[in-house]
Amino acid sequence: MDQRLAKDRAAHIYGSARGSGDTEDERINSGALLRRLLRYFTPFRSQLLGVLALLVVSALTQAAGPALIGRAIDVYIAGKDSPGLAQTMILLLGIYLAGVAAAHADIRQGPVALARLF
């Protein structure tokens, strides 16, 4: 019984499987639904794009850290290049500080932008 209800609910939301007699017009058009949903977000476009940009910066800085550490180990520590290692560590510190700043701003701005939506 529960499986049938779940299947009926999924068919109602996503449209039934092909060959079940439903026409394309009876199914929910995902593109139209997405466009309608995006219209609600247009007054908040700048805030949402700002939050998205901060999220991307935060993710990129988190990904750059291990890459720089790997390069420091493979190139500068293995090659016994102290000035290159120091330069890489200063760059790593700057990247981590930028990531912390972006994450902090994202944490502060994200809920504000979402609160304005509702």
pLDDT band at 113 (very low <50, low <70, confident <90, very high): low
Structural Rg of the chain based on CA atoms? 24
Which of 66, 55, 67 is closest to 99 using CA atoms? 55
Domain that holds residue 60: 2-117
Question: pLDDT, tens digit, for every residue of 3-55?
Answer: 665 655 655 555 555 555 455 555 667 788 888 888 888 887 888 888 888 88
Measured over the CA atoms of residue 96, residue 97, residue 99 and residue 104, the dihedral's sign is positive
Q: What is the mean pLDDT of the chain?
A: 77
- Total structural domains within the chain: 1
pLDDT given at position 110:
64
CB contact set of 88 (below 8 Å; sequence gap of 6+)? 68, 71, 72, 76
